[in-house]
Amino acid sequence: RIDMDTTGSLVVCKNDKAHQSLSEQLKVHSIRRIYVAIVHGNIKEDSGTVNAPIGRHPTDRKKMSTHCKNGRDAVTHYKVVEEKNGHSLVSLILETGRTHQIRVHMQYLGFPLVGDYLYNPDMEYIHRQALHSWKLSFIHPITKEPMEFTAELPKDMKNILIH
């Protein structure tokens, strides 16, 4: 699953056997998902890990938050790829897959995603969060071969880094 308005790679199962295999890979964290995002500001640390539980926001049911009573473990690793025009292009690897995890963790660090109408309603540059599922790797459910797929950064996100 990816958030609405997130671009990029995703996998769709054609049958129950494939679904069960990929679900198991997700459970044991063997599927590798690398995202890229453009955030406001220049991150001081070139890389790091956010380990902050995520749950429902205490007052806004549409949002998720790190400030909740019953949050579930959530771990995101990040690396700054490029800084330009007061923004950072960040590569992100998920250990867990919580709802809005990248969006919430980057806001938690103080670097919200550009265009994120829910967590940073500035609508700067694009009318969606600047989040892209760049690379997806997993073991094929039938052939057991390693599979890897990438999706080029979309034009709207490239334009943010150019201007």
Cα–Cα distance for residue pair 62/117, rounded to 1 Å? 12
Collapsed DSSP state (helix, strand, coil) of residue 78: strand
The answer to whether 93 and 33 are in contact (CB under 8 A) is yes
**Which is the catalytic residue, given 3, 5, 16, 73?**
3
Minimal CA–CA distance to 56: which of 43, 42, 72, 40? 72
Is 3 labeled as catalytic in the residue annotation?
yes
Bridge partner list, 113: 39
Which of the residues are catalytic? 3
